[in-house]
Chain A
């Protein structure tokens, strides 16, 4: 498929220019990405080994920042919050997405309309989602006050103000925003399944439940893979939603690595430690994304 395999290796300048033209067109993008992605990654990596505080500085301190980072309690909180949030977020999104996809795959009338409703939160900014849920979950005016107003005066729902429970409000809002998207991914997967196999199994008398468990769900493995990769990388990058919903609070109860990095770098003037935390975020994402991209690109060849 390749055209640039030199029609004329010793051509004139014009010929050579023409041969090089595609690569010339691509080169600004390559240069931009080389500098602004990989160069910057390298720069931040380097900073994480320096004594940078309010501004970058280049005094080498070795692993000092990483040592410190793992001793900071707020980082510990951020990481364990990320584990709790990430696991629940991915699990609930996948479960809900799969359920909705299967339900929608039953020759539903107005399927397109329903799908539109399930998926619209994906078009919103996490800040908008955060604002909506922040006041909806606020015990003073939101769901707690409303249900109490309806007569259930004992009703309590103040997770967002509760240090122990606040992280789960992030899960609630994030699942609301993304589960429709996961539904769409599974639905696309379901639509790709071979109908003949289903018919054969039905004729053999398989129950609907067995049909899904034995035949349909195993074939959705690629959709599960994609959903996992997308959700995991969104979870690790989660920043806006936390800022809008809880601001990381109450206290530090909902800090995540992304909010930790920002506050240590830009408000606490511990740039070296902030850089170290960013490096750890990158490593975690790379561990998920690189194998995924690798397999996708290899398959395509």
Chain B
């Protein structure tokens, strides 16, 4: 989609083009740069107006403090326990919602029944509701289930509200899977689960990665449920980071805040860098037609 021409004007145009693209790279990277350099310098350098400069005294102390000794809420535990909470919360929630989503997608494409599109539509709408709408009854329900203020409660909540998107991914993926293969296997006498395990599941790798990455990113980054349904011992990382930064006691240790922010960002950032392609696919499938 480019006007092919090799005049001098056009090569000047290319230079401008690359310069503009480069400027935008700086724009997007700037906050990351700010977080990184300021997490590696003493507080005095930041308060002296040196936020944009590289550290003069490189120090790893803010990272250590953010990890294991900074004041988070009422306790000086650092972010470590909350990082672990997030991991304990994310792993089962992602696994459960992905597994259930795969089965749902299989049913909704290969075993359709009257009204299955409506069922899918109702599942899907659940992804988009403002979760403010479920906070009050969910708080009560978790209480009734004995899961109030626990990591298990958060796992449950994320599983429940993750089903919609997982189903969307697998449904759209399996819709393109040749139904003739399923029918042939059925004629050969293979049952519902056998067809799923032997025929669909082996080729579900890519969409499973997409789904896992999407759920992982969403659940790790969630704040609203974490803030609403956890207590001091079960807070996830995002809530703890917010408490660290907003705590009003004593001096504001900006360098510690930045180190903590990077810690909260690292898992999802790592996944993005390693498997960005799948992350983008997930984003697009969640918005544009699959």
| Chain A residues within 8 Å of B, Cβ to Cβ | 1-4, 18, 21-23, 25-26, 28-30, 32-33, 36-41, 43-44, 47, 56, 100, 103-108, 114, 116-136, 140-143, 145-146, 148-149, 176, 180-181, 184-185, 188, 190, 193, 195, 198, 202, 208, 216, 222-223, 226-227, 229-230, 233, 236-237, 239-240, 243-244, 247, 258, 261-262, 265-266, 271, 274-275, 277-279, 281-282, 285-286, 289-290, 293-294, 296-297, 299-301
Contacts and interface: CB of A to CB of B under 8 A. Distances in A.
A125 B136 contact: no
Contact of B257 (A125, A131, A239): A131
Closest 5 CB pairs of A and B: A22-B111, A125-B221, A123-B272, A149-B49, A37-B126
B164 A184 contact: no
Contacts of A275: 136
Interface in B154-211: 160-161, 163-164, 167, 175, 179, 182-183, 186, 191-192
Q: Is the interface of A mostly helix, strand, loop or mixed?
A: helix
Given A44-B134, A281-B132, A289 B125 contact: yes
A181 to B, nearest CB: 6
B120 A297 contact: yes
A290 B111 contact: no
B272 A120 contact: yes
A208 B137 contact: no
Contact of B132 (A123, A202, A278): A278
A216 B1 CA distance: 10
B124 A126 contact: no
A223 B136 CA distance: 35
Nearest to A239: B224
Contacts of A120: 28, 32, 269, 272-273
Interface stretch (B18-26, B56-64, B72-80, B87-95): B18-26
B51 A40 contact: no
B3 A26 contact: no
Interface size class of B (residues with CB under 8 A): 35 or more
B31 interface: yes
A299 B289 contact: yes
B237 to A, nearest CB: 8
A274 B51 contact: no
B104 A124 contact: no
Contacts, number: 288
A274 B228 CA distance: 14
Given A43-B137, A123-B265, A243-B223, 18 more contacts: A2-B112, A36-B161, A38-B126, A41-B129, A44-B136, A116-B273, A120-B28, A122-B283, A127-B221, A128-B264, A131-B242, A131-B245, A131-B261, A132-B258, A149-B49, A185-B288, A216-B1, A240-B223
A247 B246 contact: yes
Given A44-B134, A56-B140, A274-B136, A240 B238 contact: yes
B132 A30 contact: no
B223 A1 contact: no
Contacts of B258: 131-132, 135
Given A22-B107, A282-B133, A123 B217 contact: yes
Contacts of B220: 125
B97 to A, nearest CB: 10
A122 B167 CA distance: 22
A198 B4 CA distance: 13
26 contacts: A26-B108, A30-B119, A33-B164, A38-B126, A40-B133, A43-B137, A44-B134, A56-B140, A106-B1, A116-B273, A120-B272, A124-B269, A125-B241, A131-B257, A141-B254, A142-B51, A149-B50, A188-B284, A227-B287, A243-B223, A244-B223, A258-B130, A275-B136, A278-B133, A278-B135, A285-B128
